[in-house]
Amino acid sequence: MNLKGQVVLLTGASRGIGLALAQSLAGRGAKLHLVSRRFAPEMKADLEQRGAESVRLWEKDLSIMSQADELARALEGESIDVLINNAGLLTGGLLEEQDPDAIDQMLMVNVHAVIRLTRKLLPHMLARRSGKIVNNASVSGKMFFPCASTYAASKAAVVAFTESLKQELRGTGVSTLLLITPGVKTAMYDEIQDLYGGHLDLSFMNSIPAEEWAERVVRAIEDDEDTLWPTGSSHLGVKFAHHLPALFERVVRPKFKRS
Ligand SMILES: NC(=O)c1ccc[n+]([C@@H]2O[C@H](COP(=O)([O-])OP(=O)(O)OC[C@H]3O[C@@H](n4cnc5c(N)ncnc54)[C@H](OP(=O)(O)O)[C@@H]3O)[C@@H](O)[C@H]2O)c1
């Protein structure tokens, strides 16, 4: 897909991976609809200067389903070519110590809003027999660490949703791209230490710059890939956890302490 002039709806675009994606897509000359609860005042002008054909900012809270619905309704006439469900929240720590309201809010953004927006925009893509749905999951949706129970559940849901939808859409002209995102240096990545670090030795973790991951995502959209895997030790970790779960658990066990 040549992204020049393509209409892209990208959630979670105010910072981190989403901001890097918006910048990369602007450089390709895409027309951008960007969603977050808040945007920096200079965002639109900066992206236009980088080459975006147009930029529209939508300040919506995707943990509130009526706001996700409003957004989808407002965009009905816009012929969205690419939907990138990137907005996300992190939860973590021992389950009984996690704030139940924070868990619910995270599930709303990471899972419900993804399904809701996709379901609302899909019929328009199907009618045009063209479109790409990109869902940002995580290595956490494939390999399961202690302290990550609720977040991992949300990302495993994104993996299952996207894998199932991929099969449903075969032959329709609409396709999916599942992102098995590794550690990426963002505000969320920095939160991991606070949320997990009290119980889990995180010295094995590593991260790549947001710009590097965003560039790989944009190339995967252009090449119409269906899954984007991490490289190096993150890729090995995902494969190890998937194929040898009992051994993976034994390796992780000494890194975890309840007290
Ligand atoms: N960083 C990593 O290591 C990593 C690894 C694997 C997967 N991921 C996934 O990658 C995606 C982006 O993460 P990131 O690291 O870039 O995180 P980030 O820097 O914390 O950015 C999260 C983005 O989501 C938006 N967002 C959060 N809650 C929202 C809500 N209720 N309504 C609308 N927008 C909301 C935020 O904007 P506002 O706060 O302005 O609303 C922000 O733009 C997430 O889905 C995350 O789970 C990240």
Local confidence band at 145 (pLDDT 50, 70, 90 cut-offs): very high
Best residue for ligand 1 mutational test, from 23, 32, 35, 37 (most atoms within 8 Å of Cβ): 37
189 is catalytic: no
Q: Does 71 sit in the ligand 1 pocket, CB within 6 Å? A: no
User: In CATH, which of 2.60.40.10, 3.40.120.10, 3.40.50.261, 3.40.50.720 is domain 7-255?
Assistant: 3.40.50.720
Q: What are the structure tokens assigned to 70, written together?
A: 């409003």
Question: Taken in order 134, 150, 106, 104, is the CA torsion positive or negative?
Answer: positive
Region of residue 229 (phi > 0: left; psi between -120 and 50: alpha; otherwise: beta) = beta
Which atom of ligand 1 approaches the CA of 139 most closely? Answer: 6
Residue 15 CA to ligand 1 centre (angstroms): 8
Return the bridge partners of 9, or none: 33, 83
pLDDT of residue 237: 94
Tens of pLDDT, residue by residue over 51-75, are: 999 999 999 999 999 999 999 999 9
pLDDT of residue 259: 85
The pTM assigned to this predicted structure is 0.98
Rounded to whole angstroms, the Cα distance separating 201 from 158 reads 26
Residue 256 CA to ligand 1 centre (angstroms): 26
Best residue for ligand 1 mutational test, from 10, 11, 14, 17 (most atoms within 8 Å of Cβ): 17
The SS3 of residue 83 is: strand
Mean pLDDT of 216-239: 97
Mean pLDDT of 46-54: 98
Q: Does 30 sit in the ligand 1 pocket, CB within 6 Å? A: no
More confident call, 3 vs 259: 3
Catalytic one of 68, 132, 151, 182:
151
Which residues, 6+ apart, have CB-to-CB distance to 78 below 8 Å?
7, 9, 33
pLDDT of residue 114: 98
Mean pLDDT of 215-237: 97
Which residues, 6+ apart, have CB-to-CB distance to 249 below 8 Å?
none
Mean pLDDT of 75-85: 95
Q: Does 219 sit in the ligand 1 pocket, CB within 6 Å? A: no
Residue 86 CA to ligand 1 centre (angstroms): 7
> Distances from the Cα of 250 to the Cαs of 52, 152, 244, 255, in angstroms?
49, 19, 10, 10
Mean pLDDT of 208-217: 98
Tell which residue, 232, 145, 249, has the closest CA to residue 197: 145
Local confidence band at 176 (pLDDT 50, 70, 90 cut-offs): very high
The SS3 of residue 26 is: helix
